[in-house]
Amino acid sequence: MNPPPAEIGAPVAEVETPALVIDLDALDRNIAKMAEFARAAGVRVRPHAKTHKSTAIALRQIALGAVGQCVQKVGEAEVLVRGGVKDVLVSNQVVGERKLRRLAALAKEATIALCFDAPDQVDAASRVARDFGVTLGGLVEIEVGMERCGVAPGRDAASLARRVADAPNLKFMGLQAYHGRAQHMTTHQERAQAIAFAVDAVRETLEALAAENLPCEIIGGAGTGTFAIEAASGVYNELQVGSYVFMDTEYARIRGDDGRPYAEFEHSLFVLASVISVPTADRAIVDAGLKSYSAERGPPWVHDRPDVEVTGVSDEHGKLKVGPRARPLSLGEKVWLIPGHCDPTVNLHDWYVGVRKGRVETLWPINARGASI
Is 69 one of the binding residues for a second copy (CB under 8 A)? no
- For residue 292, what is the DSSP state? T
Is 258 one of the binding residues for a second copy (CB under 8 A)? no
Q: How far apart are the first and last CA of the chain?
A: 18
- Whichever of 66 and 371 has its CB closer to a second copy, that residue is 371
Is 155 one of the binding residues for a second copy (CB under 8 A)? no
Which of 312, 326, 363, 365 touches a second copy by CB under 8 A? 312
How many angstroms separate the CA atoms of 365 and 373, rounded? 19
Which of 35, 149, 252, 326 touches a second copy by CB under 8 A? 149
E runs forming strands in the chain: 19-23, 44-45, 69-71, 87-90, 111-116, 136-141, 170-176, 218-221, 238-239, 269-280, 283-286, 301-302, 308-313, 318-322, 334-338, 351-356, 359-365
Residues 169-188 that bind a second copy (CB under 8 A): 180
Shortest approach of a second copy to residue 42 CB, angstroms?
Answer: 29
Distance of CA 243 to the CA centre of its chain: 5
Mask 116-135, x = binds a second copy (CB under 8 A)? -xx-xx--------------
Contact 287, 273 (CB under 8 A): yes
Is 332 one of the binding residues for a second copy (CB under 8 A)? yes
Which of 31, 68, 143, 160 touches a second copy by CB under 8 A? 143
Contact 286, 275 (CB under 8 A): yes
DSSP per position, 342-365: HHHHHTT-SEEEEEETTEEEEEEE
Please tell me the count of residues contacting a second copy according to CB under 8 A. Answer: 65
Is 291 one of the binding residues for a second copy (CB under 8 A)? yes
Strand-pair partners of 319: 285, 312
Shortest approach of a second copy to residue 95 CB, angstroms?
Answer: 4
- Whichever of 64 and 295 has its CB closer to a second copy, that residue is 295
Residues that bind a second copy (CB under 8 A): 1-2, 5, 16-19, 50, 72-73, 75, 92-96, 98-99, 117-118, 120-121, 143, 147-151, 180, 274-279, 283, 285, 287-288, 290-292, 294-296, 312-317, 319, 331-332, 341, 343-344, 347-350, 370-373
